[in-house]
Amino acid sequence: MTIAPAGNSGNYFADQSRDSWRVGWSPTYTFPQVERWGAHLFKIGSYIARSDDDGQVNERPVDILDPTGVRLEQISFFGGRPFSMSDTEYAVFGQDHWTISSRFAADLGLRTESQVVSHSFRVAPRAGIAWVPFANTGTVVRLGFGFFYDRVPLDVYSFNHYPKQIVTMFDANGDISAGPFFYLNALGVVNTRGPLVFHQNVEGNFSPRAATGSIQVEQSVTHFLKLRVGYLRSISDGLVTMTQIVPDPVTNIGVNELSGSGDSRYRQLELTARVQTSEKYQVFLSYVRNRAHGDLNEFSNYLGSFPLAVIRANQYGRLPGDLPSRFLAWGTTRLPLGFRISPILEYRDGFSYSAFDAAQNYVGIPNRNRYPNFLSLDSRFSKDIKVNPKYTVRLSVSSYNLSNHFNPEALHYNTADEAFGIFFGSRGRRFTADFDVLF
């Protein structure tokens, strides 16, 4: 595989062969309602799952070239062996839906989780309330807070079986200027313990987690207009990220380490309005403002189906989901003769991107720049035709980007590329016709 400022060429550098399966069982039991200081509806449940992942990853050399075709760096690989990973997960939960009055209800719950392969035991309390503060105004207030844990995929624990990197630098004459540097694969050890996480001090004792809280206020203004305001805040810690430890100057041996030290922060404000003048006409308007920042070297970038060839130093910055402003309008209108039209309008900030130099290093602050703002008006025109009492055929024509707005999906992001800064790959106005069978 060859990586150059103007684009990649050659063969993709990685082959993967995998055979995996997962089976789970989740029984629940709901008790009869208890009348004591209100009405209680208790529920308990459990979850057990078994996973298995077998396979092997093979990786071939990667050359990084400058604009003139001179090789700057080569990434080659050695080692690598088949892996066979298995895991068992256990979870137990209990919750109480407590109806204190016709205007106030609370949900209280506790969930415990255990993932054998990560040698960890996790506790997740959660709570939420729904409150109607005034009897006749239609105001509803909802509050919620909880701890949530991510399951650590088995491919994280297969990383020790992946091929190791050899990185060699070259000068303009093709001679070795630095290296070769050998990078071993390793799983980190999380030494800190939270009040709700208990783990052993062993490699891979990861417990990705998020503390998430939200508040929402809903208000009926008239019989056809309802407004909703919501705010959400999520703080995530213990995320699995790729960290590259620089080689020792004597041995030239470094480490590509999967560590459980990543974090991210997300907050979102959402304003929504629903307009429904009758059963035939319904329109929704939504404005979302959010902010998402965190560690950029998420493990899935390097262990997924199509891993990145170049491992860069981890940076903290905007995440792909960071969209400061997004407006959506959608609805459904029933037309005569059984026809229906469903338009949707979206206008938002463009996704963020990073610039790189010829050696594929970050230039400036990662993800600081953005694609052009996105605008698209789509619609679907459909009609249901009843064939018999059981089957209905839905015929439809869908249109996309009716305004033919320039919405690029790609960019020349390398500063050594002559076309640096040029956006391309926009999908113009288009139409599709399809049908569905409903039964």
* pLDDT, tens digit, 9 for 90 and up, residues 296-343: 999 999 988 888 989 998 999 999 889 999 999 999 998 888 889 999
Q: Could you tell me how far CA 432 lies from the centroid of its own chain?
A: 29
Nearest to 219 by CA among 272, 178, 177: 272
State the pTM of this model: 0.86
Nearest to 359 by CA among 167, 173, 183: 167
Are 258 and 272 part of one and the same domain?
yes
Are 355 and 252 part of one and the same domain?
no
Last residue of a domain, one of 266, 290, 322: 322
- What is the pLDDT at residue 255? 94
- What is the pLDDT at residue 234? 96
Are 311 and 208 part of one and the same domain?
yes
Last residue of a domain, one of 322, 337, 361: 322
- What is the pLDDT at residue 223? 84
Last residue of a domain, one of 282, 299, 322: 322
- What is the pLDDT at residue 136? 82
Are 174 and 265 part of one and the same domain?
yes
Are 357 and 435 part of one and the same domain?
yes
Residues 6+ apart with CB under 8 A from 423: 371, 372, 406, 408, 410, 411
Residues of the chain with pLDDT under 70: 193
- What is the pLDDT at residue 211? 95
20-50 exposure pattern, b = at least 16 Cβ within 10 A, e = fewer: eeeeeeeeeeeeeeeeeeeebbeeeeebebe
Are 237 and 315 part of one and the same domain?
yes
Domain that holds residue 345: 323-439
Are 250 and 103 part of one and the same domain?
yes
Are 233 and 149 part of one and the same domain?
yes
Distance CA 308, CA 388 (A): 52
Work out the number of other CB atoms within 10 angstroms of the CB of residue 386. Answer: 11
Are 380 and 314 part of one and the same domain?
no
Contact 159, 187 (CB under 8 A): yes
How many domains are contained in the chain? 2
Are 255 and 136 part of one and the same domain?
yes
Are 256 and 331 part of one and the same domain?
no
- What is the pLDDT at residue 139? 92
Are 33 and 117 part of one and the same domain?
yes
Largest CA distance in the chain: 84
